[in-house]
Amino acid sequence: MKIIAIGMNYPLHCQELHAGEALPEEPVIFMKPDSALLKDGKPFFIPDFCEQVDYETELVVRINRLGKHIAERFAHRYYDAVTVGIDFTARDLQRKFRATGRPWELCKGFDNSAAIGDWVPVDRFADIQDIRFHLDIDGQTVQQGHTRDMLFRVDQIVAYVSRFCTLKMGDMIYTGTPVGVGPVRIGNHLEGYLEQEKVIDFHIR
């Protein structure tokens, strides 16, 4: 099982963290190991190697069949469910790594950095590019997005990734975060929604 993640896929988020940089012309890809997965409502423990951990709320797609060199027009056949996920980022480490030109997998791929919610069949939605999602912390909405605002659509992402690595059943694609990322703190209660359905619910410890 692979966790594939897309960076800089919402223009306003690009401005939020990368002001002055050009928007990407191709999907920006990074990976998380399977040890990053956090599921079943288990708490997220802030690690001791960083001073700031940010939430990044994302639509996550589940791959349901083997695929390589998938044509974009057929990409919708290769995923069967979606949910909300949180891509936790050690932001202070990321700034340090980016400033020195070093790879920044450690700030994205540490243990439990990929929280995942309950899966919802994709056929519940008329169009995967017309889904709203949001995150509440302690009962207040802190981040919200709409898949129509993606720079690269889900089917484009599936086709693009499959050029480089074979997609397998159970793989997950985190499709990018909209504007509104921010830090979590011990005691926070996170709840994520697809439209009005709560699909993820856990605490920060």
| Tens-place pLDDT, residues 84-99 | 999 999 999 999 998 8
| Tens-place pLDDT, residues 48-91 | 999 999 999 999 999 999 999 999 999 999 999 999 999 999 99
Higher pLDDT, 53 or 103: 53
Q: What percent of the chain has a predicted confidence (pLDDT) above 90?
A: 88
CA dihedral 178, 49, 27, 102 (to 10 degrees): 140
pTM attached to this predicted model? 0.96
Furthest CA-CA distance within the chain = 45
Burial of 142 (0-12, 13-18, 19+ CB in 10 A): middle
The H or E element that residue 38 is part of is: strand 37-38
> Confidence class of residue 20 from pLDDT cuts 50, 70 and 90?
confident
Q: How many CB atoms lie within 10 A of CB 60?
A: 27
Report which of 82, 95, 107 is spatially closest to residue 174, judged by C-alpha positions: 82
H helices of 85-203, where? 91-99, 154-164
| Chain-centre distance for alpha carbon 74 | 22
